[in-house]
Chains A and B, each alone.
Chain A
Amino acid sequence: MEGERRASQARSSGLPAGGADGESPGGGAPFPGSSGSSALLQTEVLDLDEDEDDLEVFSKDASLMDMNSFSPVMPTSPLSMINQIKFEDEPDLKDLFITVDEPESHVTTIETFITYRIITKTSRGEFDSSEFEVRRRYQDFLWLKGKLEEAHPTLIIPPLPEKFIVKGMVERFNDDFIETRRKALHKFLNRIADHPTLTFNEDFKIFLTAQAWELSSHKKQGPGLLSRMGQTVRAVASSMRGVKNRPEEFMEMNNFIELFSQKINLIDKISQRIYKEEREYFDEMKEYGPIHILWSASEEDLVDTLKDVASCIDRCCKATEKRMSGLSEALLPVVHEYVLYSEMLMGVMKRRDQIQAELDSKVEALTYKKADTDLLPEEIGKLEDKVECANNALKADWERWKQNMQNDIKLAFTDMAEENIHYYEQCLATWESFLTSQTNLHLEEASEDKP
């Protein structure tokens, strides 16, 4: 049931020619591999006003890239999905485009599950083709995340959407839940693609390209579940030791993470609550307008005024609906992703501590001559390297994460403010035009009365 095809060149050539050709400045633009053009691209992208249509960002991208299989104006949804990503980290090297869409329900005798279609477009040499289409289920995503964490224990791996949300779930797979999850999975894969290190991970590549049976067999190769669980138990025990010897900068980092986690969780709750209140307000408003229509049926002289009031209220109602959907698209997913990120970060800190603990325990053993000390110095040397690598990786990734977080939060809240401004502007226009029409009417009537 999990079908996938290797897309061929022929498929993409069926796209409207107006797209890429129209946008490119003509002639072969330099491939993003060269630093000159990438710098140019970078400044262009960063200079853009936040409020501009995202489509322009990527058409400018495409115009400077030699992507023969890629058009910014595709009729199908994947591209419009890509365009929803605001400029994140390292936009200069974007040569991997991923979309997650088309959730499909699969029913077997044992279970029901959802698969998502994943389309990958790339110009990278290490990929056998430039387009891939696969179907993956949530379990597969979990597997991928586990592999990434294994390979890069102190890198900040993007978070996955939750397995299930217990509160308020009537059935396991209602449409809203699936859509929210789809968007989050899309974000997950794209964050990995944008990460300077993770993007070249082998398991990631396999995830994006392998056929169903290929993936299954590959999965079985990794360390077994039992051994992984054993690792977890040891990890908890040893991470305590790691905390004691934690360097200053990581103490600071940890403090930040703890406080950030608190605040972002609160903001998540507040934002969800606002959405709920707006929805309830909308539900009541829907009833409010029609009563004025009902009233107008018994008032001869007030018919027009009452009907106009009713239509104003209805228009404000629609504006509220739009504001709500803006909130749920721009703000809620971003805030929630950072809630998950904050949990992720705590896990990263633990893993770092654990690596350090390994080193510390060996050092302790050497100092107190607990075990056979012949091989220890060599082991310690290796572990010292390991710790240094882990710390450096985390430090670098931390800076990158913080930068992204600031951008994302700033953008999300700015969008929310914009939605609210737009909402109030619409309502204002509605009521002002009502007032104008009433005063005009009044003037008309007054002039009619004059003898």
Chain B
Amino acid sequence: MEQAPPDPERQLQPAPLEPLGSPDAGLGAAVGKETEGAGEESSGVDTMTHNNFWLKKIEISVSEAEKRTGRNAMNMQETYTAYLIETRSIEHTDGQSVLTDSLWRRYSEFELLRSYLLVYYPHIVVPPLPEKRAEFVWHKLSADNMDPDFVERRRIGLENFLLRIASHPLLCRDKIFYLFLTQEGNWKETVNETGFQLKADSRLKALNATFRVKNPDKRFTDLKHYSDELQSVISHLLRVRARVADRLYGVYKVHGNYGRVFSEWSAIEKEMGDGLQSAGHHMDVYASSIDDILEDEEHYADQLKEYLFYAEALRAVCRKHELMQYDLEMAAQDLASKKQQCEELATGTVRTFSLKGMTTKLFGQETPEQREARIKVLEEQINEGEQQLKSKNLEGREFVKNAWADIERFKEQKNRDLKEALISYAVMQISMCKKGIQVWTNAKECFSKM
């Protein structure tokens, strides 16, 4: 009853890996080790590299984006973007990579993959997709999905998504993921054939429903609060960043007007003319430098956005725990009430309300044989119930254990990534300052020669 599969249906066995590269004893051994240790996260450098065997052995890239037109489900013409996914296997000896697979996918197929992963790996913090529509835009970026800058950033985001899955110790071995990378046609049908939509607990989607859980694991309650805070603070930060970017754009661009006016003015000045003209040129350089600066910052914003969306993935895991706990408590409650009923029937006292009790009162006492029969049914149900409760308890504990392991992994990843992002932000600021010093030093020289 493990939540963590090595489920032969969903997980890849060593065999399908062979076509990707030369049969590697080391690889096989690595896989074997993982199947044993599935679900357990042992910290330590060695296990991590073993778990990243996909990353070691193959390269995944979303290398191109293409506008396409086609007919949709309602036979209407639509335009969409398709992304080229290339998989390369790295030859062990010389480090060369060989293209093994290449296919085109559109955004909706990525969404399908993720939905599938959410159902079958509910205890895993599943990597999020890049945003479907541009949010937190500042005035320069259009919210148009066809805008080339947006498409480019989405391409990078989708590549990142696949790399995250490929570097996850469990998700990377999923068969559907493997087929996503290798089987162009029929992949959608294959996914749907797994019947994952049916398995999906619709309650997970009902975001507004609250489940009164008496004994949730405190760590998950805390985690839910954390994910709410993370989402709120990153949203706020992205909003303000967009506004700051907008203002900065204004400052730089207005300086460009100096260029034009200086040039016109230089025409009537004898001594000052040259200085004015060349200073004006530097003002133009200054004004146009902001475009690249803000484009870089957009990538930083994307890094933050990924963790904004990760907050949702965290909440999904918490929710699953909540539901399991709820089901467990309901089952326990149900069992307790059945036991009580049984006891009452046996002793003859009626403390609990039951339909049978009511009908007895209305239509007369039942016969001892009828009562015996009922007790027998109840005893069977109680037995069943106890079995179910035991297995639910086990499920729950396994879930908590495995989920928490993945959450620890996620936390470490998050701390690394966010720190790196903040440092990259500093690097961007430094570059911007250096450019500014350069331009204004040049301008100052021109002014002083006027």
Contact = CB atoms under 8 A, between A and B. Distances in A.
B31 interface: no
Given A281-B244, A291-B233, A431 B433 contact: yes
Given A263-B261, A435-B426, A302 B444 contact: no
A266 interface: yes
A406 B272 contact: yes
Contacts of A50: 448
B437 A425 contact: yes
By DSSP majority rule, is chain B's interface helix, strand, loop, or mixed? helix
A302 B418 contact: yes
Contacts of A438: 419, 423, 426
Contact of B254 (A273, A302, A409, A418): A273
Nearest to B261: A266
Interface in A399-451: 406, 409-410, 413-414, 417-418, 420-421, 423-425, 427-428, 431-432, 434-435, 438
A251 interface: no
Nearest to A418: B444
Interface stretch (B93-101, B115-123, B235-243): B235-243
Nearest to B242: A284
A384 interface: no
B251 A431 contact: no
Contacts of A277: 247, 250-251, 254
A272 to B, nearest CB: 10
A424 B440 contact: yes
Given A284-B244, A410-B447, A424 B422 contact: no
A409 B425 CA distance: 37
B251 A406 contact: no
A427 B279 contact: no
B230 A298 contact: yes
Contact of B258 (A260, A270, A406, A432): A270
Contacts of B248: 281
B258 to A, nearest CB: 6
Nearest to A278: B251
Interface stretch (B15-23, B161-169, B263-271): B263-271
A24 to B, nearest CB: 32
A425 B450 CA distance: 24
A44 B401 CA distance: 83
B289 to A, nearest CB: 12
A263 B444 contact: no
B430 interface: yes
A423 to B, nearest CB: 8
B69 interface: no
B247 A263 contact: no
A151 to B, nearest CB: 31
Contact of A305 (B254, B422, B443): B422
A280 interface: yes
Given A256-B268, A263-B261, A284-B240, A427 B447 contact: no
Interface string A285-304: 10110011011001101100
Interface string A104-134: 0000000000000000000000000000000
Interface residues of A, number: 52
Contacts of A298: 226, 229-230, 233
A274 B251 contact: yes
Contacts of B241: 288
A267 interface: yes
Nearest to B233: A295
B447 A414 contact: yes
Contacts of B267: 259
A417 B251 contact: no
B434 A428 contact: yes
A312 interface: yes
Interface string A45-85: 00000100000000000000000000000000000000000
Contact of A434 (B229, B265, B426, B444): B426
A306 interface: yes
Residue among A288, A298, A306, A418 with max Cβ neighbours from chain B (10 Å): A298
Given A274-B255, A406-B272, A428-B437, A291 B237 contact: yes
A309 interface: yes
A187 to B, nearest CB: 21
A53 B255 CA distance: 28
A267 B261 contact: yes
B250 A280 contact: yes
Contact of B415 (A263, A266, A302, A421): A302
A424 B444 contact: no
B240 A421 contact: no
B257 to A, nearest CB: 5
Contacts of A291: 233, 236-237, 240
B29 to A, nearest CB: 26
B436 interface: yes
A260 B273 CA distance: 13
B258 A306 contact: no
A334 to B, nearest CB: 13
B450 A409 contact: yes
A288 B419 CA distance: 18
Contacts of B441: 417, 421
A38 B203 CA distance: 93
Given A406-B272, A414-B447, A270 B257 contact: yes
Interface of B: 226, 229-230, 233-234, 236-237, 240-241, 243-244, 247-248, 250-251, 254-255, 257-258, 261, 264-265, 267-268, 271-272, 275, 279, 411, 415, 418-419, 422-423, 425-427, 429-430, 433-434, 436-437, 440-441, 443-444, 447-448, 450
The 7 A-B pairs with the shortest beta carbon distances in the complex, nearest first, are: A417-B444, A281-B247, A424-B436, A428-B433, A263-B265, A277-B250, A420-B440
Given A309-B426, A421-B440, A435-B423, 15 more contacts: A50-B448, A260-B265, A267-B258, A277-B250, A281-B251, A283-B247, A284-B244, A406-B450, A409-B450, A413-B279, A418-B444, A424-B436, A424-B437, A428-B430, A438-B423
11 contacts: A50-B448, A259-B267, A263-B261, A263-B264, A277-B251, A283-B247, A288-B241, A294-B233, A295-B234, A428-B433, A431-B433
